[in-house]
Structure 1
Amino acid sequence: MSTALVLLTLGLACAVAGGWVALNVRGSAASLERWADGNAQLRMHARGDLGPVERRLSARLYRALGTLIALCGCVCVLGGLLELA
């Protein structure tokens, strides 16, 4: 029964967090994009490079990753429910 509880808990957490980013609730994907750009800018300044920041991850990619995480969370929830039955 402990495996089922772990799968249910982990699956629900992943489904909620991934769904939050995938649906861009309250601009979460856009804020993750701005956060990554700010960190990249700080790393570049620490190296002494004062040029423009290279954008590596966009909000669309964060939303796609959020969708993948939410789907994996749903699979874990279903696995936990099958373990209970």
Structure 2
Amino acid sequence: MSTAVVLLTVGPALIVAGSWVALNICGAAAALERRSAANAELRMHARGDLGPAPRVAAAVFYRYLGSVNALCGVLLTLGGLLELA
């Protein structure tokens, strides 16, 4: 399998996934925030700590990571197009 095919497959997938979180479509970033809070609470309960769970990451952080992911997808897609030429 050529490198261009791999880059042109992975690149658009990263663009779609990253922009989905970056633009908070269907509340994706908010859902990731709730999931991380629930996981932190479960870890604390497993240790026997029954206090409030610390806030791990906000939705803004996940939106930032989504935009970085989308930009990396753009770079991979452009690299795949350059590989074809």
Question: TM-score when scaled to structure 1?
Answer: 0.97
**Rounded Cα–Cα distance in structure 1 between residues aligned with 2:15 and 2:21:** 10
Q: What is the CA RMSD across the aligned residues, in angstroms? A: 0.9
Q: Per-residue deviation at 1:72?
A: 0.3
The secondary structure found in structure 1 opposite 2:60 is helix
Structure 1: runs of 5+ lacking an equivalent: none
Runs (5+) with no aligned partner, structure 2? none
Aligned residues: 85
Report whether the alignment pairs 1:47 with 2:27. no
Q: Which 4+ stretches in 1 moved above 2 angstroms?
A: none
Partner of 1:76: 76
Contact 2:10/2:73 (8 A) holds in 1 = yes
Calculate percent identity across the aligned residue pairs. Answer: 65
Match of 2:8 in 1: 8
Contact kept? 2:40, 2:56, Cα under 8 Å? no
Deviation at 1:56, TM superposition (A): 1.6
Q: Where does residue 26 of structure 1 map in the other structure? A: 26
Question: TM-score under structure 2 normalisation?
Answer: 0.97
